[in-house]
């Protein structure tokens, strides 16, 4: 079953963003470094076409460092785009961000022409964390600011630098099936829009190909080679005591354990997609 989740408030956010974009100089998109393509909003790419973009691969502390380098190179090769990795532990994210935006829009800045930047990202990608880590600076809340909608927050990062925050948003149709599963595994999709067991089986399938040693180490499994995803989920359930009366494995409980561990980085530094894989998934999705 393909994952789709675009509740009404996201549609409202889309309209607000379209309106706001007219006066924006740089668009920052916060991506999840564990799913740098699946977490990029294709709708935003179309809406902000031609504007300089800063792609931040957040949660890089949870992602596979070698694959993050591949994705940074991928995004940095795109026109009008700069990409950088970041994590919540970063000491000076604001400064890094401001400097990168200034580079992207060198003609803006100064009190006459303050740089206006919009920041977007999928739910749970770490936008609030990033903005909180900047909160030693002056933050203007919504409500008392004409033209700033209830959905938005305006953050003054410097006298000549304004950052507009937006609500976490997905898009109406997730075309790449693997991308939908990766978004769901990351925690960006509402629980009511996904089957956790199915999402976990897809996750395990990927981990068995690319991160089998990490998986074995986390759950103390010594014979995962050649196993199917559902067999591994059963093994994990048994190890973790997710057992129903009669000895059957509680697969839902086992799935919740794996998802929570993955989201917390307990399985290791993992990235769920590589550029070549993404291109192949996208090609297949287009052919359907």
Smallest separation (angstroms) from ligand G4P to the CB of 101: 19
Residue placing its CB nearer to ligand G4P in the complex, 58 or 149: 58
Task: Please report whether residue 128 would count as binding ligand G4P according to CB under 6 A.
Answer: yes
Give me the sign of the Cα torsion angle 141, 146, 151, 155: negative
Please select the residue that binds ligand G4P; options are 4, 70, 81, 129, rule is CB under 6 A: 129
Q: Give the Cα separation of 232 and 219 in Å (integer).
A: 10
Task: Please report whether residue 61 would count as binding ligand G4P according to CB under 6 A.
Answer: yes
Query: How is residue 136 written in tokens?
Result: 């030693």
Task: Please report whether residue 123 would count as binding ligand G4P according to CB under 6 A.
Answer: yes
Among 226, 233, 268, 229, which residue's Cα sits nearest to residue 250?
A: 233
Local structure of residue 13 (DSSP, 8 states): H
Smallest separation (angstroms) from ligand G4P to the CB of 243: 27
Smallest separation (angstroms) from ligand G4P to the CB of 37: 18
Residue placing its CB nearer to ligand G4P in the complex, 108 or 127: 127
Task: Please report whether residue 87 would count as binding ligand G4P according to CB under 6 A.
Answer: yes
What does the chain come to in residues?
288
β-strands 115-121, 161-165 pairing: parallel
Smallest separation (angstroms) from ligand G4P to the CB of 118: 15
Task: Please report whether residue 133 would count as binding ligand G4P according to CB under 6 A.
Answer: no
Task: Please report whether residue 268 would count as binding ligand G4P according to CB under 6 A.
Answer: no
Q: Give the Cα separation of 267 and 170 in Å (integer).
A: 26
Task: Please report whether residue 168 would count as binding ligand G4P according to CB under 6 A.
Answer: yes
SS (H, E, C) 136-148: CCCEECCCCCCCC
Task: Give the Cα-Cα-Cα angle 30, 31, 33 (nearest 5 degrees).
Answer: 135
Residue placing its CB nearer to ligand G4P in the complex, 265 or 275: 265
Compose the 4-43 pattern: x for residues touching ligand G4P by CB under 6 A, - for all others. Answer: ----------------------------------------
Residue placing its CB nearer to ligand G4P in the complex, 76 or 260: 260
Task: Give the Cα-Cα-Cα angle 197, 202, 204 (nearest 5 degrees).
Answer: 90
- How far does CA 75 lie from the centroid of its chain? 15
Buried b (16+ CB within 10 A) or exposed e, 177-187: bbbbbbbbbbb
Residue placing its CB nearer to ligand G4P in the complex, 186 or 200: 186
Task: Please report whether residue 58 would count as binding ligand G4P according to CB under 6 A.
Answer: yes
Smallest separation (angstroms) from ligand G4P to the CB of 133: 9
Task: Please report whether residue 180 would count as binding ligand G4P according to CB under 6 A.
Answer: no
């Amino acid at each position: 079953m393909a994952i789709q989740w675009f509740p009404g408030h996201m549609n409202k956010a889309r309209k607000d963003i379209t309106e706001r974009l007219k006066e924006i100089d740089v668009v920052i998109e916060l991506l999840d470094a564990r799913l740098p393509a699946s977490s990029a909003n294709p709708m935003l790419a179309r809406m902000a076409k031609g504007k300089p973009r800063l792609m931040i691969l957040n949660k890089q502390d949870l992602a596979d460092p070698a694959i993050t380098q591949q994705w940074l190179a991928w995004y940095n090769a795109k026109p009008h785009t700069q990409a950088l990795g970041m994590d919540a532990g970063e000491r000076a994210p604001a400064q890094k961000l401001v400097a990168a935006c200034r580079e992207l829009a060198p003609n803006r800045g100064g009190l006459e022409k303050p740089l206006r930047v919009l920041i977007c990202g999928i739910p749970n990608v770490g936008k609030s964390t990033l903005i909180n880590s900047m909160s030693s600076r002056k933050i203007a809340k919504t409500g008392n600011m004409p033209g700033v909608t209830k959905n938005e927050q305006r953050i003054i990062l410097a006298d000549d630098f304004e950052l507009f925050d937006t609500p976490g948003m997905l898009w109406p149709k997730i075309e790449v099936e693997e991308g939908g599963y990766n978004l769901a595994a990351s925690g960006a999709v509402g629980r009511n829009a996904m089957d956790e067991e199915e999402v976990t089986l897809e996750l395990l399938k990927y981990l068995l190909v690319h991160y089998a040693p990490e998986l074995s180490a986390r759950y103390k499994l010594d014979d995962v080679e050649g196993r199917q995803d559902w067999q591994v989920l059963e093994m994990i359930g048994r190890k973790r005591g997710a057992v129903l009366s009669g000895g059957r494995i509680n697969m839902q409980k086992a799935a919740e354990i794996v998802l929570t561990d993955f989201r917390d980085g307990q399985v290791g530094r993992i990235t769920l997609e590589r550029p070549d894989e993404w291109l192949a998934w996208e090609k297949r999705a287009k052919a359907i």
